[in-house]
Amino acid sequence: MGTEVSVYLWHEDPEAARLLVDAVFSEAERIDALMSTYKESSLISEINRHAAEAPVFAGNELFTLIQRALDISVLTRGAFDITYDSVGQHYDFHERKRPDPATVEKERALIDFRLVRLDRVAQTVFFAKPGVRINLGGIAKGYVVERGVDLLRNRGVKNAIVTAGGDSRLLGDRRGRPFMIGIRDPRIDGEVAMSVPLADEAVSTSGDYERFFDEDGIRYHHIIQPDTGAPADQVHSATVFGPDAVMTDALSTSVFVMGVDLGLRLIADLPDYESIVIDAQGRIFYSDGLQPPAAEREPAEAPE
């Protein structure tokens, strides 16, 4: 899926540890081969080629993830929408290539998750219009790290981090202390805006600084606002924490699209999930369940 996977774990036996790391990488490759739109041979590419002609069999694993993606579209009122790809396919961030306005106008009519019809019994996917495309780039990395951590947990590992792009799943803690997870400064390369102590949780960040190019003062990047077909421009980054990396991945993309107010309202309705958003002015916003760090609170009245 065009990203880097990393595994960090504690184990008594270095050789056993290396085999475990390899097992996570193999699992990531297996999922990539199934779900990457960069690969012509993947099942998702087959779906994109043929699902408007007739239902295409997706198999249990891919079917289930597509189903979850569509459920999240309902939850986010369409901010998260895997059919964004009818517009998204026209971007190439390495080549600084973007769709012209006429192409955006034409293709954005095909962004609508309701055009994806699932048959739960047959496990097939059908597109209700020609030209519809799906892309799991906003949820599949969360799935990769969730699967990676499951694999390590099942083999007895107690402390680990599996990361794919902006998505991490923590297993346990840093041997008695929390892991410190840095949230990148969206505008200063290599700088961390803040660090958050976390254990046994998933954390995902969506930002406009991963895949992008700037042209005439506009940043063209990889997260698409489904209703306009343009890159979402309300915030610079959205981070979501919670128990499940598939959810944090999709929710970070969703909060990025929805912006500070709607995004944090969505998170407020999900008791297990919290969020930190950095807006286009660089201001930091926290969901209700997170207290801002002491240094950022209003200074208390000095005692007389």
- Residue 68 binding result from Mg ion, ligand ADP, none, given CB thresholds of 5 to 8 Å by partner type: none
The answer to whether the beta carbons of residues 151 and 27 sit under 8 Å apart is yes
Question: Quick one: tokens of 61?
Answer: 């694993």
Q: Where does residue 170 fall: left (phi above 0), alpha (psi -120 to 50 degrees), or beta otherwise? A: beta
Residue with smaller CB distance to ligand ADP, 9 or 140: 140
Min separation Cβ 253 and ligand ADP, Å: 4
Could you tell me which stretch among 4-12, 99-107, 135-143, 286-294 binds ligand ADP (CB under 6 A)?
135-143
According to the binding rule CB under 5 A, does residue 36 interact with Mg ion?
no
112 contributes a contact to Mg ion by CB under 5 A: no
Contact between 275 and Mg ion per CB under 5 A: no
Answer yes or no whether residue 73 interacts with Mg ion by CB under 5 A.
no
- State whether residue 264 is helix, strand or coil: helix
Long-range own/partner contacts, residues 70-76 (CB < 8 A, 24 or more apart)? 70/113, 70/116, 70/118, 72/139, 72/247, 72/250, 72/251, 72/254, 73/113, 75/266, 76/251, 76/254, 76/257, 76/258, 76/266
> Does the footprint of ligand ADP cover residue 210 (CB under 6 A)?
yes
31 binds ligand ADP (CB under 6 A): no
CB 100 within 8 A of CB 68: no
138 binds ligand ADP per the rule CB under 6 A: yes
Question: In sequence order, which residues have a C-beta less than 8 Å from that of residue 263 and are 6 or more positions away?
Answer: 235, 238, 254, 255, 256, 257, 275, 277
Nearer to Mg ion, 123 or 237 (CB): 237
Q: How far is the CB of 172 from ligand ADP (least distance, A)?
A: 23
**Residue 257 interaction partner, one of ligand ADP, Mg ion, none, beta carbon < 5-8 Å per kind:** ligand ADP
Q: Any contact of residue 253 with ligand ADP (CB under 6 A)?
A: yes
Which residues lie closer than 8 Å to 74 by C-beta, 6 or more apart? none
* Axis-axis angle for helices 140-154, 14-35 (nearest 10): 150
* Residues 167-186: x where in contact with ligand ADP by CB under 6 A, - otherwise, as a string: x-------------------
Stretch that binds ligand ADP, among 126-134, 175-183, 245-253, 284-292 (CB under 6 A): 245-253
Q: Site residues for Mg ion, window 195-224 (CB under 5 A)?
A: 206
Q: Among 236, 228, 248, which Cα is nearest to 212's?
A: 236
Q: Out of 42, 124, 135, 239, name the contact with ligand ADP by CB under 6 A.
A: 135
In SS3 terms, 44-61 reads as HHHHHHHCCCCCEECHHH
**Per-residue x/- mask for ligand ADP, residues 218 to 237, rule CB under 6 A?**
----xxx-x-----------
- The Cα–Cα gap between 67 and 65 comes to 5
In the list ligand ADP, Mg ion, none, the entry touching 81 (Cβ below 5 to 8 angstroms by class) is: ligand ADP
CA 141 to chain CA centroid, Å, is 6
Residue with tokens 């569509």: 70
Applying CB under 6 A, the span of 12-20, 75-83, 126-134, 195-203 interacting with ligand ADP comes to 75-83
Q: Which residues bind ligand ADP (CB under 6 A)?
A: 80-82, 84, 88, 135, 137-138, 141, 165-167, 206, 210, 222-224, 226, 249, 252-253, 256-257
**Can you give the binding site for Mg ion, defined by CB under 5 A?**
138, 206, 249, 252-253
